[in-house]
Structure 1
Amino acid sequence: MKSFRKELWIEIPSRVGFLNITEQIVQCVDESQIKEGFVLVNAKHITASVFINGDERGLLQDFALWLERLAPHEPITQYRHNETGGTNGDAHLKRQVMGREVMVAITNGILDLGPYEQIFYGEFDGLREKRVLVKIIGE
């Protein structure tokens, strides 16, 4: 069995945003030369997420609006976490809802995603570089 590891560095230029990272993951699979196995993709920060969904018009904006209604950023005093001096209590909750990681099968050297499925990085406390781990195992 072979193993491949790479970190992607991502910086979202706003507090909240999403980035389709599917092509970067495809490049990692190609680089790994693993034909049958699995790829794990996870955000290495507690205020960011990796998830799978469609790259359909308006959907990412819908996620942002829905998450803001679910865990609004302001007033920041509504979160006990922010009593420590931070302002990102909502970002931790948003990450919990959207998830930390995804795992995708690799078949014949290709990501085995369903129709329209794409891999996304979600940022909930941005404006600085963060890492995404790509770990591939297989033959």
Structure 2
Amino acid sequence: MLCITEEVEKIVAESNVIDGLVLVNPMHITASCYVNDLERGLHHDIMEWLEKVAPYHGKDGPNGPEYQHHRTGEDNGDAHLKRQLLGQQVTMPVQDGRLHLGTWEQIHYAEFDGQRPKRILVKVIGIQRE
């Protein structure tokens, strides 16, 4: 999990949008962008929770049945489920030319597979400075 708030803030500042929205999308089906506190213990808890709900080997462990998705030749069924649980993308407000976050809100990127190169789309929409 990576905190990408600073990178998003830079893109918002460079956009010259003073009032609008910013969309942050991981552009891949085994990754998530989400908003939460920047606290390492919480990151650990989230990953532990995701692994309990969508374990790497499937619900019955390595000796149990695999995910149906694995019949396609892929081995990342858990990564797809974890992405569904954590969410796909975030949309945040832009106010006075800055990312408008709550006190503890930070934008994070989580990768659950890692087998392919990834990119993050950041799109700023709104009223620009004159």
TM-score over 0.5 for the pair: yes
> How far apart, in 1, do the equivalents of 2:44 and 2:107 lie?
16
Q: Aligned residue pairs: how many?
A: 122
| Structure 1 match to 2:8 | 25
Residue 52 of structure 1 is aligned with which of 24, 27, 35? 35
Q: 1:127 to 1:86 in 2, by over 3 A?
A: closer
Alignment gaps of 5+ in structure 2 = none
> How far apart, in 2, do the equivalents of 1:107 and 1:77 lie?
50
Percent identity between the aligned chains?
A: 52
| Structure 2 match to 1:86 | 74
Which moved further from structure 2: 57-66 or 92-101? 57-66
| Structure 2 match to 1:64 | 47
Give RMSD over aligned pairs.
1.3
Determine helix, strand or coil for the equivalent of 2:56: coil
| Structure 2 match to 1:14 | none
Q: 1:85 to 1:127 in 2, by over 3 A?
A: closer
Query: TM-score with structure 2 length normalisation?
Result: 0.89
Residue 88 (structure 2) pairs with residue 105 (structure 1): no
Please say which structure displays the higher CA radius of gyration. Answer: 2
> How far apart, in 2, do the equivalents of 1:85 and 1:77 lie?
15
- After TM superposition, which residue ranges in structure 1, 4 or more long, deviate above 3 angstroms? none
Flag the structure with higher strand content.
1
> How far apart, in 2, do the equivalents of 1:55 and 1:124 lie?
19
Letter in 2 for 1:66: W
